[in-house]
Amino acid sequence: MKIERMITAEDMRKAAKRRLPRVVFDFIEGGVEGEHGIARNERIFSQCRLLPRYFVDVSQRSQKTTVFGRTYDSPFGFCPTGTPDLWRPGAEGLLAETAGEANLPFLLSTAGNNTVEEATRLARGNLWFQLYTTRDRAIADSLIGRAKDCGVETLVITADVPVAPNRERNMRNGFSRPLRKTASLVFDGLTHPRWTWDYVCSGGMPLMGSFKAYAPPNATPDEVADFFGTQLPTPDQTWRDFEHMRKIWPGNLVIKGVLHPDDARQAAELGANGLYVSNHGGRQLDSAPAPLEVLPAIRAAAPEQTIIMDSGFRRGTDMLMAMAMGVDICLLGRAALYSVAAFGRLGAQRLVSILRREIDLNLAQIGCPDIANLDESFVVPPPVIQFGNGRARFEG
């Protein structure tokens, strides 16, 4: 497939599926249990409507977005994702470089392949760092210190991984570290020679860069990953951990995985600067609500907080709907991975161009030339969850 034929994020997904062995593609594509959460995340946008206003001068348009005092050229960025170099060697660095060139935020995962020091340079100052609380809290403190020393301004604490998820698709495929040479995987590799060649020539399973410093000396990438597995998940993580991080982190502090207004209020009271509304892309709790379903309640519970959201974005219009409902910036996970897996740097750049064009055209279509003026008057929201009297229910 030629990159010139890629005109949507879905085209990128199809191209990635053609290039990657099934076991590898399914690790991106899959969720947990019945995968209803993934479908819910995407379906919710079809239940929204954008309301156009006409006889508005839209000859000059802007999608510049300001978050935490920094202005980005578009209202989206790239999510933290674990071991993205599995899909293409150097994929994470290519996404970081693309974000830097395009002036978009790039979130490096604790489970990423680049070190925080490397990613800071590649993202040209647009790096945010996502942190998992480790069982040995000294490791998390060290990672925070490294991010601070690199000049990272925004730290994102993940809250929604108390235990390992039940990813049935991975279990059926026999996904493991290292990839086991089963008959089906060998056949799949032979029928996807470009990925197989890249994987073998790059040395196999990619290294978790930031975590290598804490593993035993001279640990291989698989041994680093095994050590990572001894540190996560952390079922004993509590608000005390968040309070501790607030004390030692001087910059913007965001909590990721907020789906309840009570958690939003608590985070704000404890000094959070931002709330990251997310169900982990449907990869943790299959029956969790879609972020858009709880967004109004969270926005109302913590009106002064910066709101970040991921899970399900595939179109520029998806992002416009979310922003009209109160989101400040949108983050892309699977769409970004599909693009770089299929075409490398050119794929990531093409995805940015596709989404920017969709946002630009639809800002004109709805009569909102400056995205900073996008508000609830432009959207008919989907059915959302109302909270009160100790219970939650759908309304709308």
Tracing tokens 């949108």 back to the chain, one arrives at 330
Q: How far apart (Å, rounded) are the C-alpha atoms in residues 128 and 80?
A: 9
Catalytic residue among 192, 244, 260, 280: 280
Q: Determine the Cα angle at 208 with ends 282 and 83, to 5°.
A: 35
Question: Are the C-beta atoms of 384 and 294 separated by less than 8 Å?
Answer: yes
Q: Which of 62, 8, 16, 4 is nearest to 342 (CA)?
A: 16
Binding annotation for FMN: 80-82, 109, 130, 158, 256, 278, 310-314, 333-334
CB 37 within 8 A of CB 203: no
Q: Are 119 and 143 spatial neighbours (Cβ–Cβ below 8 Å)?
A: no
Tally Cβ neighbours within 10 Å of residue 6: 23
CA angle 328, 332, 335 (to 5 degrees): 150
**Amino acid of residue 98:** T
The CA distance from 120 to 293, in Å, is: 34
Binding-site residues for glyoxylate, please?
132, 167, 280, 283
Q: Which residues are annotated as a binding site?
A: 80-82, 109, 130, 132, 158, 167, 256, 278, 280, 283, 310-314, 333-334
Contact 47, 317 (CB under 8 A): no
- Residue 280: active-site member: yes
d(CA 24, CA 83): 12
Output the CA–CA distances (angstroms, integers) from residue 99 to 13, 72, 96, 373, 382, in the order listed: 20, 10, 5, 24, 31
Measured between alpha carbons, how far is residue 41 from residues 72, 121, 222, 302, 325 in Å? 25, 33, 32, 23, 15
Alpha-carbon gap, residue 290 to 395, rounded angstroms: 14
The answer to whether the bond into 21 is cis (omega within 30° of 0) is no
Nearest-5° angle of CA 140, CA 143, CA 146? Answer: 155
Active site residues: 280
